[in-house]
Structure 1
Amino acid sequence: MIAAYRRFHMLGCGFAVLVLATGCSTSEPSAKPEPKPEPAYGSAVQICQGLFGPEGAAALERVLDSTEFRLRDETYDLDLQAVGKGLQGRYETGQGFGDLEGEMCRASGRPKAGSVPYAELWIAGDKKHVGAGEKDRGPAVIHGANRMHLRYNCASPRVGSTDDLPLQIRLTFRDKRDGRKGADVLRPDYVAVMHSAALAIAKDLGCQNSGGLPDRSEDLPASVPEA
């Protein structure tokens, strides 16, 4: 009886010590989340690689009041070859897109005063049935309330488009920057950005006569109001 009591007493003490030890143990501190890497920045020529030449890059700097632009990873970035393939594919399948659909290049400058200045360039294309009276028409520039368009036709052996059934390419530029200088002041720069990208696309696709685009944006026809 005494021996049994001693064994029970020893077991009880051991259990108490285990409980106390467990209750007093400290948990491991939770690991801190890894800090997000800082975004990479580069020049305007580097974004959406191949779309902007010197004239377009300089205009984009004036529009966004920035000389550094965010470089996006391959998932979100756009390059000239991807634009050309997309436009060619839409012509071959006959699947057209609206002005704010298709391929999009986003240009984001350095944040300023808690705001990120950015603009969007949309590139869409479709088959265009050209009537007899339209054959000699060249590029057209159109301005709206908060955006501008540049439209031109591309006859290209690579695409399979012709003068009678060209690939119509439409570029739409939207300035999303807060506190911008005003569309009327920046309109020549908007046109220069679109013209630079349009020339690059026309060269990549092999558009005959560069789609009727002049060498300089200043030589494009005057813009007309959006209908």
Structure 2
Amino acid sequence: MLALGLGVSACGSGDEDEGPRFVGAEKVCDSVFSGDVAAALETAIGDTTFLANGDGALDRTATAVKDFYADGQDVNRGQKFCSVNGKKRGSGGMDISFGLYKQEDALSEGHSASQRPYDLGKRALAGTKNSSLYFECVSPRLDGSDKEAARVLGGLRYSDRELEGTRAEQEANLTVLHAASLALAKKLECENNGGLPTKVVLQPK
């Protein structure tokens, strides 16, 4: 939409009307990605510049998970944390979301041929198109979790992008999902960060 006010036109302002804003990996999704994780995001998406998105993501997601737990809901993809979209044509677009899972879900050994299991959290699958990370949270912010931990499930999915399915791509996806999960665990004040390491070292199972 063009600015019509004479004063605005005369001052050459109106930057907010110039179209989408693009930023580096460290600035998307409430700035939860940095250092090696930012590099992993660039590998996963296939770009170094991203559509600015995700301000307030941690607060919204923590509130949703808290509400899911209070209501006794098991909702695998209940709350979108953030979408990440590269600037250049052909780069990928991923969605990260969080919900709650049933205990038996983390004990399942089944997974698709395009996924690899890793020793991380309660269960972790690094996939080409879909990745998931399960962890448990005991927190004063989650009433009753001292008796029954909140079982939190993070999911990462691609809406598009042709992927080769290499191990490097899969591990980049899981590295990004771990960073988002760790940020949520800290926001929820989970004991021991929900069992998630501060710096992830991926070990295939």
Measured against the shorter chain, the TM-score band is 0.7 to 0.9
Whether 1:200 and 2:183 are equivalent positions in the alignment is: yes
Q: Structure 2 CA distance, aligned partners of 1:185 and 1:49?
A: 25
Contact kept, 8 Å, 1:154 with 1:161, in 2: the verdict is no
The CA deviation string for residues 115-146 of structure 1, in whole angstroms up to 9 with x for no partner, is: 452111121125769xxxxxxx9521124573
Can you list the C-alpha shifts for 1:185-217, whole angstroms capped at 9, x where unaligned?
311111110111111111111100111112222
Q: 1:182 to 1:126 in 2, by over 3 A?
A: closer
- Give distance in 1, aligned partners of 2:129 and 2:66: 28
Report whether the alignment pairs 1:213 with 2:196: yes
Which residue, 84, 90, 96 being the options, matches 1:121? Answer: 96
Question: Tell me, what secondary structure is at the counterpart of 1:45?
Answer: helix
Q: Establish whether residue 101 from structure 1 lines up as the match of residue 78 from structure 2.
A: yes
CA distance in 2, matches of 1:128, 1:143: 20
The CA distance in 2 between the partners of 1:179 and 1:127, in whole Å, is 32
SS in structure 1 of the partner of residue 148 of structure 2: coil
Relative distance call for 1:188 and 1:53 in structure 2 (3 A) is same
Show CA shifts across 1:105-124 (max 9, x none): 11001132xx4521111211
- Give the TM-score of the pair, scaled to structure 2: 0.74
Match of 1:160 among 132, 135, 143: 143
Change (3 A) 1:128 1:166: farther
SS in 1 for 2:30: coil
Q: Is the 8 A contact 1:52 1:200 kept in 2?
A: no
Structure 2 CA distance for partners of 1:128 and 1:167, relative to 1, 3 Å: farther
Letter in 2 for 1:153: E
How far is the alpha carbon of 1:46 from its aligned partner?
1.5
Quote the Cα distance in structure 1 between the aligned partners of 2:131 and 2:155.
6
Larger Rg: 1
Name the structure 1 match of 2:204. Answer: 222
- Give the distance between the partners of 1:60 and 1:92, measured in 2 at CA: 33
For residue 34 of structure 1, report the CA deviation from its aligned partner: 4.8
TM-score by length of 1: 0.67
CA RMSD of aligned residues (A): 2.8
**Residues 121-140 of structure 1 mapped to structure 2, 5 A cutoff:** 121-125=96-100, 138-140=121-123
In the alignment of these two chains, the number of paired residues is 177
Name stretches of at least 5 consecutive residues in structure 2 with no aligned partner: 4-16, 105-119
Percent identical pairs in the alignment equals 24
Tell me the distance in 2 between the aligned counterparts of 1:186 and 1:34. 41
Is contact 1:41-1:69 (8 Å) kept? yes
Structure 2 counterpart of 1:90: 68
